[in-house]
Amino acid sequence: GESVGLHLPTLSVQEGDNSIINCAYSNSASDYFIWYKQESGKGPQFIIDIRSNMDKRQGQRVTVLLNKTVKHLSLQIAATQPGDSAVYFCAENTGTASKLTFGTGTRLQVTL
């Protein structure tokens, strides 16, 4: 059963619309950021990453924007599909050995 994300902020979007999920990170020294997608009952799956020397990176239907001035990260999903419904986490690398610090997550609900 569902054990993750019972009280998470939720973003509802219609199928076909674009989604924007936001994340504020905490450490100005972080140099690497990742977005993960977590479906119910599964482990997090990598979506896209970005290093601190970039401010934008694009993948297939996804774009990550990094604003280091205000310590803000966003994930844009184009033409959102029902299969995009999940909890999305941002994570920052705060040191060596990929010791990622995760945000609390945002639930994306795609309505038909």
Partner 1 sequence: NAGVTQTPKFRILKIGQSMTLQCAQDMNHNYMYWYRQDPGMGLKLIYYSVGAGITDKGEVPNGYNVSRSTTEDFPLRLELAAPSQTSVYFCASSYSTGELFFGEGSRLTVL
Which residue ranges make up the site for partner 1 (CB under 8 A)? 3-8, 32, 34, 41-46, 49, 89, 91, 93, 96-105
Q: What is the DSSP code (8-state) at residue 54?
A: -
Q: CA 80, CA 18: separation in Å to the nearest integer?
A: 6
34/66 with CB nearer partner 1: 34
Closer to partner 1 by Cβ: residue 18 or 26: 26
Query: 73: which 2 tokens?
Result: 């990260």
The rounded distance, in Å, linking the Cα atoms of 81 and 15 is: 5
Q: Find out whether 35 and 64 touch, Cβ atoms under 8 Å.
A: yes
> Which residue, 105 or 110, is less far from partner 1 as judged by CB?
105
Compute the least distance from the CB of residue 102 to partner 1, in Å. 4
